[in-house]
Amino acid sequence: MSNKFISAHQAAQRVASGDTVCTVGMTLIGAAESILGAIEARFLSGGEPRDLTLLHAAGQSDRQRGIQHFAHPGMVTRLIGSHWGLAPRWMAMINNNEVEAWCLPQGQIVHLYSAMAAGLTGRLPPSGSVPLSIRAWKAGG
């Protein structure tokens, strides 16, 4: 029987420049902290991966950890999430136009995750009076 577990370092090596990274959890509950930190360490030591899209459904930070690991100029070019209240470095980058940021309702992103898991093209239902559509990223691609 083969081992289906890999280290945080091995997981970080699988992230290529231009990839979309999805995270789950709220604050730091369910956060893959060791993997997020390993991806950050790889970027800080060698400049890769860069130009990522970071997608998260809920605020996943405690002001220092979680998605804060990715708050470096050049590491992420597009940020899609629902809350940055506990992510001051992200809020500064957004305010300084250092990253393209999309703030969507948490429920909309959760529906998108469900579509992605099913291998479907996601359609975000209308939020208020503005219908939002987005194509789901397929797992692994």
Return the SS3 of 4. coil
> Which own/partner pairs from 32-35 qualify as long-range (CB within 8 Å, at least 24 positions apart)?
32/8, 33/65, 33/66, 34/8, 35/8, 35/11
Residue 8 has pLDDT above 90, yes or no: yes
Q: Which domains does the chain have, with CATH numbers?
A: 13-103 (3.40.1080.10), 105-141 (no CATH)
- Give the tens place of pLDDT for each residue, 71-95: 999 999 999 998 888 899 999 999 9
Q: Check if the beta carbon of residue 137 is closer than 8 Å to that of residue 20.
A: yes
Q: What is the pLDDT of residue 123?
A: 63
Burial 18-32, CB ≥16 within 10 A → b, else e: eeebbbbbeebeebb
